Structure 1
Amino acid sequence: MKEHLWIASRRQRLSAMLHLPEGFKPGTPLLVLCHGFTGNKVGYNHLTLHLANFLEKAGYGVLRFDYIGSGDSDGDFATDTSVAGWQEDLTNVLQWVDGQEQFATSPVVLYGHSLGGLVVLTHEDQIERVVARIVFAPVTKPVANFRERIIGPELWQKSLRGEKIENFFDRGFTLYSQFVKGLATQDYDPISAASRLTTPLLIIHGTADVVVPLAGSQELYEQYQAPKEFVVTEFDHGATGKQAEFQQIIGRRLAGLLADAVPVAV
């Protein structure tokens, strides 16, 4: 069963889709899915939608959402996209979950793809609802990754000067300087942040990924101190042509992640 929701964030509305399996009952785990840069809650080649449908059929609850300025949410990508804004959006989504009686005893698992992985790794769980994390091709070196690969050195410098940039990474998007300036000044370090986490972590990364380097996930795995697993595959950045295999990797490991997790306090 799917239900569309609006969730308040940054004085605007996030568009979210809730998937509940047949026979949903209190205590059923809920996965919150975080998309990547220039993405949306449907996902790259429908990656997020297909994962949500797979998890729903497997008996899990799923909540996927668009950040402010992305997908069907309020706002504008060019002016509203920033890591700080995305972090605030995820916090507001989890506060919404925490306020729903039907999820009062549900353990929450965070999933993030690409830049969504950075948001998942740096999320400070002040309400203590998150019991495990899954990241697929996470951005772990945001300045280097965006400057050298995703935006490119020329547009990066242009944005640092406060100018609008367009058509980066073969995408027809426009972006003002708040995004690049935020990366350059805030020193986002998901590897360091994650090293302080105590929740079980599953990392998935493909050797054919030309967007986000595999080496960052390797370093993340080495420094992570809690229960962890690192699955290296032949996937590209969106598991193109291999989404069924991608889903099976997550499906086979979810029970173990939840078994290693600390139960939700009620």
Structure 2
Amino acid sequence: MIWLWALLRIFLVVIVVATAAIYFFQERVIFYPYKLPADFKFNFKNPSTEKILKVGKSDIHSLYFEAKDAPGVIVYFHGNAGSLEGWGELASDFVDQTGWNIWMVDYPGYGKSTGHITSEAQLHEVADAVFAEAVKLNPGKKVVIYGRSLGSGIASSLATKTTIDGLVLETPFYNVEAMAKNIFPFVPGFLVRYKLASNESMKSIKVPVLVIHGTADEIVPFAQGKKLYDEYQGPKTFMEIQGGDHNNLDSMDKFWPAVKQFLKSI
């Protein structure tokens, strides 16, 4: 019986330590930035303009791609890993495939952006600043907010307080708490400091929404994106990509036709 109590104590200690680590080092669990030197030169097939926005104490780096006679601008929020060195390649593809302008941003600590992420509010401040600049440079044009994975939580929140023509969510999670329970079932929801609650944001949105998710997504369960879509009460389209995983949807046959059709419809 003594050994049983000893095992129980060890188990409880492990749970407490693991839970504390997840709470206090949440940024290391969620964000995986890739830093770039300040003098790094981008080389994409389409030209882009580097934009620096001052948000709080951080210099936020972004790329603006312009298409000829673009009908609108896509304000794109990328996933939790990498930098614009890689994401910019995708932005360039968006220009070719859609003919829209696209503005893509690196979060604090990512790429050439200075500082580091310290709160969810900080991410929303970055989104506000980027959106305002994108709209200012595209007067009278359509505006679509696009969120990919982590960016879906930022994008859906931004959509609640701006005037836009559409919202696209690719590989979206329901909220970070749901993701945490999926990975760490023992962690109480109240310990999750970054909520990014897309499910709550969607209750205040009325614009057309396109949700894209692969059935073989190994990071964000397909069921989370589908649940988010099912609960949305506004005009909506769901693109289920059979066999698509978390990082390959833009290479699948159904992806670009779905995006282009959505943009054409709004």
TM-score scaled by structure 1?
Answer: 0.72
Q: Which runs of 5+ in 2 are unaligned?
A: 1-46
Q: Which runs of 5+ in 1 are unaligned?
A: 161-179, 259-266
Secondary structure of the structure 1 residue equivalent to 2:239: strand
Q: CA RMSD in A?
A: 2.5
1:251 equivalent in alignment to 2:260: yes
1:72 equivalent in alignment to 2:118: no
* Matches of 1:36 and 1:136, distance apart in 2: 10
229, 232, 238: which one aligns with 1:230: 238
Further displaced range: 104-113 or 15-24: 15-24
* Alignment match, 2:62: 16
Shift of 1:114: 0.7
1:113 equivalent in alignment to 2:152: no
Q: Which structure has the greater CA radius of gyration?
A: 2
* Alignment match, 2:129: 92
Secondary structure of the structure 1 residue equivalent to 2:146: strand
Within a 5 Å distance, the mapping from 1:41-190 to structure 2 comes to 41-42=84-85, 46=86, 48-57=87-96, 58-76=98-116, 80-98=117-135, 100=136, 102-123=137-158, 125-126=160-161, 128-149=162-183, 152=184, 181-183=192-194, 187-190=195-198
Shift of 1:245: 4.8
Match of 2:209, as an amino acid?
L
* Matches of 1:88 and 1:16, distance apart in 2: 14
Shift of 1:248: 3.5
Secondary structure of the structure 2 residue equivalent to 1:75: coil
Structure 1 moving runs of 4+ over 6 Å: none
TM-score scaled by structure 2?
Answer: 0.72
Instruction: Identify if the C-alpha distance between structure 1 residues 129 and 240 changes in structure 2 by more than 3 Å, giving closer, same or farther.
Output: closer
How many residues are treated as equivalent by the alignment? Answer: 217
* Alignment match, 2:83: 40
* Alignment match, 2:208: 200
Shift of 1:144: 3.1
* Matches of 2:249 and 2:198, distance apart in 1: 26
Identity of paired residues, percent? Answer: 23
Match of 1:136, as an amino acid?
E
